[in-house]
């Protein structure tokens, strides 16, 4: 919380707000968080309740975005699906951070054969398209929402390893690190106290962008039937359920697709804004 409060008071946050697109993205993210927290109070209907007498109905006062093939309120299901998609994005990124950051820091700091082995392993993982690798991992671990989160998190690990390793290589021979070595600080303390804190800017930017990617990949897994299972109101699964009726009841796929697009757009806009706000070259420039 101290880090968040410090960032809000910083010049970087002011530069972020001056970027209109980034500010717009931030508003969208705050809106999604608000919806996910207050979903039971916002949703007009039970997202699991079926009404077979009103299947594939268009938007109405009772069902603002219409109903799906089982007569469930699409608007309510999208609202509850916000909780799942946001959770998937942040948990997946947390997995990537927890593994990728320390491994990347160790790889860049020690170098040598250890660095060579880690980087070859990263090369192998990055040789596969991210979505394909996530599908393979889910196929091995089993279908389900939790396994989909883990799969997307594992796919993001190589990105963090490469990012942190590059940052560490440019920092590890700096004066403050040499001073820490001179006074007898251990390698672990140097890495986690004197190096990683100086890598936070690129990590924060990459994390905001990877949340968007995680939401998109998780929706793809849900669409393929490898992520959240029925009757869970997950956006990708909703797209899959409505695809058979895209000609006769396009609202069953249009609105979940728009929810995915808006969420991904919001995080991407914030990520681009953070990249500019945290760039030292932008400190004296208005965005």
Distance in angstroms (rounded) separating the CA atoms of residues 223 and 254: 14
Pairwise CA distance, residues 196 & 194, whole Å: 6
Flag whether 55 is in a domain.
no
What residues make up the domain containing 141? Answer: 15-38+70-282
Pairwise CA distance, residues 257 & 72, whole Å:
17
Residue 48 lies in a domain: no
In a domain, 46, yes or no: no
Two structure tokens written together for 148? 């989909």
> Is 49 inside any structural domain?
no
In a domain, 5, yes or no: no
Identify whether 167 is part of a domain. yes
Is residue 50 one of the residues assigned to a domain? no
* Predicted confidence pLDDT, tens digits, the chain (287 residues): 555 555 556 677 778 888 899 999 999 999 999 999 999 999 999 999 998 899 999 999 999 999 999 999 999 999 999 999 999 999 999 999 999 999 999 999 998 899 999 999 999 999 988 889 999 999 999 988 899 999 999 999 999 999 999 999 988 888 888 888 788 888 888 888 888 888 888 898 899 999 999 999 999 999 999 988 888 899 999 999 999 898 889 999 999 999 999 999 999 999 988 888 876 555 544 44
In the chain, the number of structural domains is 1
User: In a 10 Å sphere around its CB, with 0-12 CB exposed, 13-18 middle and 19+ buried, how is residue 23 labelled?
Assistant: middle
The CA distance from 257 to 235, in Å, is 7
Q: Tell me, what CATH number does 30's domain have?
A: 1.10.3720.10
Question: Is residue 65 assigned to a domain?
Answer: no
């Amino acid at each position: 919380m101290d880090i968040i409060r410090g960032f809000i008071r910083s010049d970087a946050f002011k530069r972020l707000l001056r970027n209109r697109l980034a500010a717009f993205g931030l508003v969208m993210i705050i809106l999604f968080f608000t919806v996910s927290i207050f979903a039971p109070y916002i949703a007009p209907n039970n997202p699991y309740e079926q009404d077979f007498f009103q299947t594939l109905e268009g938007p109405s006062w009772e069902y603002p975005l219409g109903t799906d093939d089982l007569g469930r309120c699409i608007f309510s299901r999208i609202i509850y699906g916000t909780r799942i998609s946001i959770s998937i994005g942040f948990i997946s990124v947390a997995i990537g951070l927890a593994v990728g950051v320390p491994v990347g820091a160790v790889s860049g700091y020690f170098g040598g054969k250890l660095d060579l082995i880690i980087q070859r392993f990263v090369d192998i993982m990055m040789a596969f398209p991210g979505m394909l690798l996530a599908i393979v991992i889910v196929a091995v671990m089993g279908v389900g929402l939790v396994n989909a989160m883990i799969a997307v998190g594992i796919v993001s690990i190589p990105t963090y390893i490469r990012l942190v390793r590059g940052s560490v290589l440019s920092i590890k021979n700096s004066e403050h690190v040499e001073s820490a070595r001179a006074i007898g600080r251990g390698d672990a303390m140097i890495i986690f106290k004197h190096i990683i804190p100086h890598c936070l800017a690129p990590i924060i930017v990459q994390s905001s962008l990877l949340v968007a990617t995680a939401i998109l990949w998780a929706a793809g897994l849900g669409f393929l039937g490898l992520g959240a299972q029925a009757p869970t109101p997950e956006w990708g699964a909703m797209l899959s359920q409505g695809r058979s009726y895209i000609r006769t009841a396009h609202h069953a796929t249009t609105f979940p697709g728009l929810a995915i697009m808006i969420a991904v757009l919001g995080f991407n806009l914030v990520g681009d804004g953070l990249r500019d706000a945290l760039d030292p070259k932008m400190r004296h420039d208005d965005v």
